[in-house]
């Protein structure tokens, strides 16, 4: 009996030891997985659907050295406007060496900052908050644009205009407006049906929320371009000052923040999307060359 008891006790001890060993191995595997996930989250600086470090780079010619807004028309045509010129230029991304850029003159020289195209009408934003409407812009070499909206205020500056189809409106974002005190950025809506702009904020973007998404890092956020991603339904906002790409919902709730590499994004001031989600960002030339960057959408 004593021998049998010792055998049983020894067998039980072996089973317990084996179970403890397996439990420790399981814990070790789980811990390794968590660490790998944390590391990936920390170093992944590009949105999941785009690789911000490997665009197709198109160097633009001197005519568009100060390109400050773009609008996608088709695979063969992206429209752009050159700051200080009352002209709309056509860029063919499939012909990167062609820098002739056919143009349409629509108005006098001014501080034009962005362009939106809806059907056969173009809308251009002037930095003081004026919106210029250019109907039938593609039908002649020279057409006449007219101011259809204006935000008041001497100390307000705008560089961003985009189209929200759901509310049939153009939305204008403050680069910096006098009442914001660098705590928010304000959006105003121009109703295309009523042809009326509201001086009441459509929504605001909290700069503190951007700081939070940037892990508490100090940031500078002065919107220079924005567009709604047609596949994801999210608003993508570029800030040339501070080199940021901020992703929000359509009412400005901050969801993602990404820093842009200044070697690629020397002065990003235009953004637009193809219907399939491909993203285009334009850079003013500054001391170098102006560029158009294409980022392929990855589902």
The model's pLDDT over 244-275, given as tens digits with 9 standing for 90+, comes to 999 999 999 999 999 999 999 999 999 999 99
pLDDT digit string, tens, across residues 85-111: 899 999 999 999 999 999 999 999 999
Burial class (CB in 10 A: 0-12, 13-18, 19+), 107: buried
Phi first, then psi: give them for residue 146, nearest 5 degrees: -140, 150
The residues, any chain, with a CB within 8 Å of residue 237's CB and separated by 6 or more, are: 160, 173, 205, 223, 225, 226, 244, 245, 246, 247, 248
pLDDT digit string, tens, across residues 177-230: 999 999 999 999 999 999 999 999 999 999 999 999 988 778 999 999 999 999
- How many other C-beta atoms can be found within 10 angstroms of the C-beta atom of residue 199? 8
pLDDT of residue 216: 77
pLDDT of residue 297: 96
The residues, any chain, with a CB within 8 Å of residue 114's CB and separated by 6 or more, are: 68, 69, 81, 124, 125, 159, 160, 161, 162, 225, 270
Phi first, then psi: give them for residue 104, nearest 5 degrees: -125, 125
The domain locations on the chain are: 1-43, 52-295
Task: Count CA atoms within 13 Å of residue 128 on its CB side.
Answer: 10
* Residue 45 pLDDT class (50, 70, 90 cuts): very low
Q: What is the pTM of this model?
A: 0.84
pLDDT digit string, tens, across residues 277-297: 999 999 999 999 999 999 999
> Can you tell me the distance from the alpha carbon of 137 to that of 98, in angstroms, rounded to the nearest whole number?
22
* Residue 11 pLDDT class (50, 70, 90 cuts): very low
For residue 260, the 8-state DSSP code is: P
Pick the CATH number of 52-295 from 3.30.300.30, 3.40.50.2300, 3.20.20.140, 2.120.10.30: 2.120.10.30
Phi first, then psi: give them for residue 18, nearest 5 degrees: -65, -40
Judge whether 280 and 293 are in contact, CB under 8 Å.
yes
Which of these, 251, 267, 299, 1, lies nearest to 113 by C-alpha position? 267
> Can you tell me the distance from the alpha carbon of 103 to that of 88, in angstroms, rounded to the nearest whole number?
5
> Can you tell me the distance from the alpha carbon of 71 to that of 81, in angstroms, rounded to the nearest whole number?
9
- Three-class SS state of 106: coil
DSSP 46-87: S-TT--TTSPEEEE--GGGTTEEEEEEEETTEEEEEETT--E
The single residue listed with the structure tokens 């939070």 is 212
Q: Which two tokens stand for residue 207?
A: 């700069």
The single residue listed with the structure tokens 């960057």 is 293
Which of these, 78, 75, 132, 73, lies nearest to 105 by C-alpha position? 132
- How many other C-beta atoms can be found within 10 angstroms of the C-beta atom of residue 201? 15
Alpha carbon separation from 241 to 92, 171, 221, 269 (Å, rounded): 28, 21, 7, 10
């Amino acid at each position: 009996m004593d021998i049998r008891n010792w055998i049983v006790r020894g067998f039980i001890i072996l089973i317990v030891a084996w179970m403890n060993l397996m439990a420790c191995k399981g814990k070790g595997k789980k811990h390794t997985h968590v660490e790998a996930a944390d590391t990936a989250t920390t170093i992944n600086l590009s949105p999941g659907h785009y690789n911000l470090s490997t665009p197709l780079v198109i160097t633009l010619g001197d005519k568009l050295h100060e390109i400050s807004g773009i609008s996608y028309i088709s695979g063969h045509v992206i429209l752009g406007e050159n700051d200080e010129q009352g002209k709309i230029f056509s860029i063919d991304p499939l012909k990167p060496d062609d820098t002739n850029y056919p143009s349409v003159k629509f108005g006098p020289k001014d501080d034009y900052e962005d362009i939106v195209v809806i059907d056969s009408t173009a809308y251009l934003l002037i930095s003081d908050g004026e919106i210029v409407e250019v109907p039938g812009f593609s039908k002649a070499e020279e057409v006449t644009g007219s101011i259809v909206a204006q935000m008041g205020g001497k100390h307000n500056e705008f560089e961003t205009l985009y189209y929200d189809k759901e509310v049939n409106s153009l939305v204008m974002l403050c680069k910096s407006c006098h009442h914001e005190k660098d705590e928010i950025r304000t959006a105003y809506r121009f109703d295309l049906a009523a042809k009326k702009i509201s001086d009441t904020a459509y929504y605001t973007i909290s700069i503190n929320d951007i700081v939070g998404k940037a892990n508490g890092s100090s940031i500078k956020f002065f919107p220079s371009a924005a567009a709604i991603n047609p596949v994801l339904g999210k608003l993508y906002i570029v800030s040339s000052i501070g080199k940021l790409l901020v992703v929000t919902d359509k009412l400005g709730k901050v969801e993602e923040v990404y820093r842009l590499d200044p070697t690629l994004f020397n002065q990003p001031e235009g953004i637009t999307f193809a219907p399939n989600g491909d993203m285009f960002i334009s850079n003013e030339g500054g001391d170098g060359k102006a560029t158009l960057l294409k980022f392929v959408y990855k589902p």
